[in-house]
Structure formats: structure tokens, C-alpha cells
Amino acid sequence: KPRLVASNDRFCRFLEEHCPVVTETYYPTIWCWEGRVQTLLRPFITSRPQVQYRNELIKTADGGQISLDWFDNNDSLYYPDASTRPTVLLLPGLTGTSKESYILHMIHQSETLGYRCVVFNNRGIAGEDLLTPRTYCAANTEDLETVIHHVHSLHPSAPFMAAGVSMGGMLLLNYLGKTGRDTPLMAAAIFSAGWNVFESVESLEKPLNWLLFNYYLTTCLQSSISRHRQMLEKLFDMDLVMKARTVREFDKQFTSVMFGYRTIEDYYEDASPCRKLKSVGIPVLCLNSVDDVFSPGHAIPVETAKQNANVALVLTSCGGHIGFLEGIWPRKCTYMDRVFKQFVQAMFEHGNKIFSM
């Protein structure tokens, strides 16, 4: 059974009643139970539901642009009035976009419930051009704030929540830690967030993890910026950036410099959500597996979470990073998908029961 960590008895009872999946036994797929195997296989095993997006480009204060992919769900039977149709903002991982299988599954789950979704693609990775020499990072929440207020302004009467995966979850947590209760979001769901970036990069630099994940992730980061080389060369030594062989080296030469940090340590400290968890002011459910090499179990801030009545952690012993495969042939639905569906539905349809926390 997962471990449910929450200091608020009312929040616990709410989850047990309306999101019972967090108390049910999770049976990982027996032939890929190890965390790294779960992590590696999920993108290849799980299906990719067909989703028709409507793209929107919005401008930022610094002259840049952000690509949003909307799933309007205009055929919703439960919420035919678009002005009050519940909206879920989805934040993909480090180099992820609206095309990731885990995002498509979240949209499929939301579609069956009648909700609308919008995917926040970080700058420059969804095919749009960079208009300024700036991309994104886990610590800077300015673009996310722009997106949240834009979406809310379009549908001010619609219930509104967000879900973030991996770095998207870190960014969302850092935003919530910064804003407290001062946000249009009524709740948030976080999946496989890296809580302490120092511990995450150290884990990813172990020889096997570097071979399986770190080097590939570094090349993905480099690939995501290479298309914008002409724009970025105005500020960076791109030859040096492209020589990075670890995420830490990439962040040292590129990310930390772009966002004005004096050292990479300053950036990693600012990017670590564990340092802002006490300030989260809305109900948040966070799912992690303790065998996730991207977010080691010992770095999950269990004691800090107990100090905030708005926070609940769901910790599984297996599941890897954005894995959570279950069943003999885990193609259509994962444990993570079920947690997402039940929690989003619980908040939209019964959330008033815990808003008096």
C-alpha cells in the first residue's frame, strides 16, 4: 500500500472518501517492477490517445512567446457551458511537450469527466520560435504566472486547477510556494517532482544512472536549444554549452547563467521545491515513488509536508519516474493516471468540503 502523509485529518478523510486510489494496494507490473525499468519502458508500453489540440501563442512581458495547446472538450456532456467548464492546466517535464504520452493520458482521463485541458509548453520546445534569448528553468515562475492569469482571464467562472509532472511539478510547486493562497488555482496535483535538485543530480550522476538517463537527458536539452542557436549565441558560448555531458554541466554553462544566478548552487537551491513547501496555500497532492532515481526517496520532504495542512504526499515503494505501471500488460492506464483522475474529479466536484481547512 502507498504511504499517505498528511497532517490534516480532514484532508486525509477527504482523500480516503473521494480519492480512494491513494489507499489501495498498488501492484506494479511484475516483469518491470524495478524503478529504472519502469522509467525506461513507460513511453514505449503505454498507448498514445489521439488528441486534437487548438494552439495559441501568447506574448510575454519581455517580448517572448509561449505556446499553449488547448483541448477544449466542446462535446462535453457534463459541462456543455464552456464558461463554467472545469479547466486543468498541464505542465510537462523538463523537455516534454503536449505530445508526451503521460500528458495525452491525462487529457483522455479529463475528457471522460467533461473537463477542458490546456498544456503549457515551455518556451522554444514546441516548434515555436524564440523571440528573445530566453528559455525556461524550474525556479523562474514568471511564464507560468503569465499562463495562469491568461487562462483564468479567459474563463473566470470556470473551476481551475493544475497538474505538473517531473520538472513541471517542480515549477508548479515553486509557483505555489511563492503565491500562497493568492492564486486562481483551487488545487494542484504533482507527479514525480524532484524535491531537492542537489540530491537529484547526485543520483543521476551515479555510473549506471548516467548511462541510462543523464547523458540522454543532456542531449535532449542540447537538442531543444540547438534550433535556436542563432538567437542564443547573442548571450552564450554555445560551443561550450553543447560540450556538456551531464545535466549539471548544462545547467552550469547555460541555465544558471541565463537566469542570473551567481553560481549553479544558488540556482539549484532556488529550484528545489522542498524549500518552499511550507508556504503552499491550496490543497496539493504529490505522488512519488521512493525508487525514483530522479527524486531519491531520502530527499522527499516528509517532515516538512507534515507541517503544512494543505499538503498530502502519496509515496509508493515502486514505480520509478513517471512510471507507475500496473497490471500484466500496462498499456492503457497507470496508477498515476488513476490518482490524477480521482483527485481532479474529487476537487472539482467535492472540493468545497476541504476549503475550510
The catalytic position among 69, 143, 251, 292 is 292
d(CA 315, CA 44): 24
Active site residue 279: no
Asked whether 73 and 82 are in contact (CB, 8 A), the reply is: no
The catalytic position among 101, 166, 224, 289 is 166
- Rg of the chain over all Cα atoms, to the nearest angstrom: 19
**What is the number of other CB atoms lying within 10 angstroms of the CB of residue 352?**
9
Starting at the earlier edge strand, list the strands of the sheet with 311-316: 3-6, 311-316, 284-289, 188-191, 160-165, 87-91, 116-121, 65-71, 54-59
d(CA 303, CA 271): 19
Task: Please state, in angstroms and as integers, the Cα–Cα distance from residue 269 to each residue in 176, 205, 262, 275, following that order.
Answer: 16, 18, 12, 8
Active site residue 321: yes
88: helix, strand or coil: strand
Asked whether 153 and 179 are in contact (CB, 8 A), the reply is: no
The catalytic position among 105, 108, 155, 321 is 321
Active site residue 166: yes
Which residues are designated catalytic? 166, 292, 321
